[in-house]
Amino acid sequence: MKRLLLRPALAAVLLSAALAAVSCQGYLDAVSPSVYTNEVTFSSVSGANSAVIGAYDPLSGDNGYGVRLATGYAYDTDEGQNRAGAPDGGSRDVNRYRMTAGTTELIAPFTTLYQGVERANICIEQIPKMALYQSGTAQEQQQLRRLHGEALTLRALYYLEITRNWGDVPAPFEPAGDDVNLPTTDRNAIYDRLLSDLAVAARLLPWRTQADYGPYERFTKGAAKALRARIALFRGGYQSRQGQMVRTADYQNAYQIARAECDTLLRNRAQHTLNPSFEAVWRNVSGLAFDTQYGEILFEVAMGSGSAASDSKLGYNNGPRLSQLSRWGQTGGAISILPTYFYAFDSTDTRRDVTITLYRSVDATPNTLNSVTGTSITDGKFRRDWRVPLLPGTSQNLGMNWPIVRFSDVLLMFAEAQNELAGPSAAYNGTTPVQALEEVRRRAFLGANYKALPTAQVSSATAFFTTLVNERWLEFGGESIRKYDLIRWNLLGAKITETKANLTAFLAGTGAYARCPMYLYEYNTAPEQLRYARSLYRPAPSTASTFNVTTGGTTYAAKRVNWRAAVSATSIADVASAYVPNTGDDLAWFGQLHDWH
C-alpha cells in the first residue's frame, strides 16, 4: 500500500524531470527543470523531501514494479512462465525470448526507469548545494543527508534494473543537458559507480529502528547495504557479450563487497532478521501490512491510489485464478508454475504451499475452490484472497507492495560470496556459508521436519554452490529473482534445457516422476475446503471420471482432474521457446534493433 506521503501531486513537487519523447537515435530526450524551479524546490527540507518522493514515484505503476518489472520481464525460467503461449508481439515475446522491432511493452518501462534516474540525478545534484546542508540546524542537516542517501540509492536501483535487462546503456549521472544523445556505457563501469555511490548512501541513511520516516517504503541503511551486495554479485557475475557469457578477471573483488555488506547486516539482527513464519511474510504483503517486528523485507515499493500509473496489479495478474463473481474478486492468474517446480519442493517444506497454489474458482461456483490441472498451476505469494480487507469485483489495482530485498536474500548472498571466496566451511566473523544457508532452511521446515543437509551436498565449494542454486530457487519463487540469478551464474541455458527434460520425464511418468499421478481426484468437504482423494506423490487410484471417497462418515464424489495428462509436447516446447544459448541480457536485443548499442 502507498502512504499518502508517497503520493503528492507532482505539480506540488515543482520538479519537471521527465522523459519527453522516444526516438531511435536517443531515448533520453528530457526537459530539464528551470533554475527557478530548482531554487524553489531545494530551498527547504520539505521541498527537498517532495523532490525525493517524486524520485520514488516511477518505481510504481504498470511500467514499474506494479507489472512489468515485477512479473513481466523475469520469465521463462525453471519456475514457470508468464502468460504461457506463442509469442504475441507483447509480453509473450519477452517471456519466450523472442524480441523483435515490433515487440510492445519495452519502451515505456525503459523510459520510466530513466525518468527515475533523471529525478534522482536532480536531487543528488541539488541537495548537497543547499545552504541548509552545511549550515542548517542539526536536524535539518541530518534530514538532508538522509534525503541525499535516499536519492543515491534510488538511482542505483533504477540503474540495476536498466543494466540487468538491457546491458550496456547510456548512463547519465548528472541532470540532462541539451545533448541527450549520450554514448553507451559499459555495464561494469555503471556497476562500479553504483557500488561507490551506495557506500556513501549507507553512511548517510539511518537504520530502520532509528528512522523518523516510513522505513519500509523508503530506503534505510540496511536496504542500501543489501542493494549494494546484490549489485556486487551482478558486477562479479556472468554477462552476455557478443554471443558469449563472460565475467571479468577481478570478479572476486565484487564478491568481497557483497560479503562485507551482508556480514554487517548479519551482525545487526535488531534491525533486520528472518520472520519465523515464511507464510506470515506473504500474508503481510497481501494483507497490506508491514512487518514492524522483524523487518525481514528491507525495502518494498509503495503502491496505491488505484491507478495504472501508481498502483500495482500484484494479486490480480499473479496468484490463483479466481472468478469475478467470487467473494474475493477477479484475478488473471497469468503466472503459470511448472509442475516440475512443484515437485522440486520437499512435501514438508512450508514454502511450497505459500509459493504455489493448486486452487481456482470458476463462475459457475464462484466461492468454491476447485483444483488446477498440471498446466494451470499458479504462484501464491501475492493473493487477492489474502487481501485485508477483501476487495470483491473486477478492480485490477489492489495496492500490494513489491518487496525488493528480504533478509533471507542477505543470508544466501553472504553464503554465496563467502563460499566463492573461502569455501563452505570457512567462517567469516563467526558465520560459515553452511550456517547461513541452513538458517534459511530451518525456517522452511517446522520442528522435526528439519534435517541438516547431507555432508555430500555441502562438503566442497562446487557441491555447496549447487545446493545454494537450488535453495535460492525454492526460497524466491515468484519474486522475479530466478532469471537474473541464472544469468549471472551462466546457468540460464542449462536450466532451460534441464527443465524441458524434466517436463518430458514428468509427462512420461519416468525417473523422479514415476510415482506422480496421471490424474488428481478432487472433492470439497466445504466450499473453501479443497481435498484430494490421494496423495500427489502416488499414482491415481482410478482413471474413471469420478469415484466415491468416504471421510469422516461422509461420502463424496471425487472428480478427475488432468495432472500429468495435461502436459503435452507442445506445452513443453513453449517454455522459453526462442531462447538462444549464450545470451542472458535478452532485452539487449531491443536496444540493438533500435541502433543504440
Closest CA to 444 of 299, 298, 346, 297: 346
Contact 462, 476 (CB under 8 A): no
Say what the pLDDT of residue 332 is.
Answer: 96
Say what the pLDDT of residue 583 is.
Answer: 74
Per-residue pLDDT, averaged over 279-298, amounts to 99
Q: Residue type at 224?
A: A
Cell of residue 561, nine digits: 482432474
Task: Evaluate if residue 37 carries a pLDDT over 90.
Answer: no
What is the percent of the chain where pLDDT is above 70? 91
Cell of residue 183, nine digits: 554514448
Per-residue pLDDT, averaged over 32-57, amounts to 87
Instruction: Give the pLDDT band of residue 429 (cuts 50, 70, 90).
Output: very high
Exposed / middle / buried, residue 113 (Cβ in 10 Å: 0-12, 13-18, 19+):
buried
Backbone angles phi, psi at 37, to 5 degrees: -60, -45
Contact 151, 123 (CB under 8 A): yes
Task: Evaluate if residue 489 carries a pLDDT over 80.
Answer: yes
Contact 472, 481 (CB under 8 A): yes
Q: Residue type at 25?
A: Q
Q: Name the strand (E) or helix (H) holding 438.
A: helix 433-444
Say what the pLDDT of residue 493 is.
Answer: 95
Instruction: Give the pLDDT band of residue 174 (cuts 50, 70, 90).
Output: very high
Average pLDDT score, the chain: 92
- 33 DSSP assignment: P
Closest CA to 350 of 450, 448, 408, 278: 278
Instruction: Give the pLDDT band of residue 13 (cuts 50, 70, 90).
Output: very low
The more confidently predicted of residues 123 and 28 is 123
Neighbouring-strand partners of residue 562: 519
Task: Evaluate if residue 190 carries a pLDDT over 90.
Answer: yes
Q: How far apart are CA 88 and CA 171, in angstroms?
A: 31
3-class DSSP string for 64-119: CCCCHHHHHCCCCCCCEEECCCCCCCCHHHHHCCCCCCCCCCCHHHHHHHHHHHHH
Instruction: Give the pLDDT band of residue 541 (cuts 50, 70, 90).
Output: confident
Per this entry, what is the length of the chain?
Answer: 597
Say what the pLDDT of residue 86 is.
Answer: 83
Task: Evaluate if residue 8 carries a pLDDT over 70.
Answer: no
Closest CA to 107 of 170, 187, 22, 30: 22
Contact 246, 177 (CB under 8 A): no
Q: Are strands 402-406 and 297-301 parallel, antiparallel or unpaired?
A: antiparallel
- 420 DSSP assignment: H
Q: Which residue has the cell 504462484?
A: 379
Task: Evaluate if residue 202 carries a pLDDT over 90.
Answer: yes
Instruction: Give the pLDDT band of residue 177 (cuts 50, 70, 90).
Output: confident
The more confidently predicted of residues 360 and 13 is 360
Say what the pLDDT of residue 586 is.
Answer: 58
CB atoms closer than 10 angstroms to residue 288:
18
Per-residue pLDDT, averaged over 318-336, amounts to 98
Say what the pLDDT of residue 34 is.
Answer: 52
pLDDT digits (tens, 9 = 90+) for 548-579: 999 999 999 999 999 999 999 999 999 999 99
Q: Which residues contact 39 (CB under 8 A, 6 or more apart)?
A: none
Closest CA to 495 of 469, 475, 521, 463: 469
Say what the pLDDT of residue 437 is.
Answer: 99
Task: Evaluate if residue 12 carries a pLDDT over 70.
Answer: no
Say what the pLDDT of residue 16 is.
Answer: 43
pLDDT digits (tens, 9 = 90+) for 54-109: 999 999 999 999 999 999 999 999 999 998 888 888 888 889 998 887 888 889 99
Least confident of 115-124, 263-272, 473-482, 531-540: 531-540
Q: How far apart are CA 75 and CA 69, in angstroms?
A: 11
Q: Left if phi > 0, otherwise alpha if psi is -120 to 50, otherwise beta: which for 61?
A: left
Contact 229, 196 (CB under 8 A): no
Instruction: Give the pLDDT band of residue 256 (cuts 50, 70, 90).
Output: very high
Q: How far apart are CA 490 and CA 393, in angstroms?
A: 43
Say what the pLDDT of residue 592 is.
Answer: 54
Q: How far apart are CA 15 and CA 12, in angstroms?
A: 8
CB atoms closer than 10 angstroms to residue 332:
16
Q: How far apart are CA 439 and CA 350, in angstroms?
A: 14
Say what the pLDDT of residue 18 is.
Answer: 37
Task: Evaluate if residue 591 carries a pLDDT over 60.
Answer: no
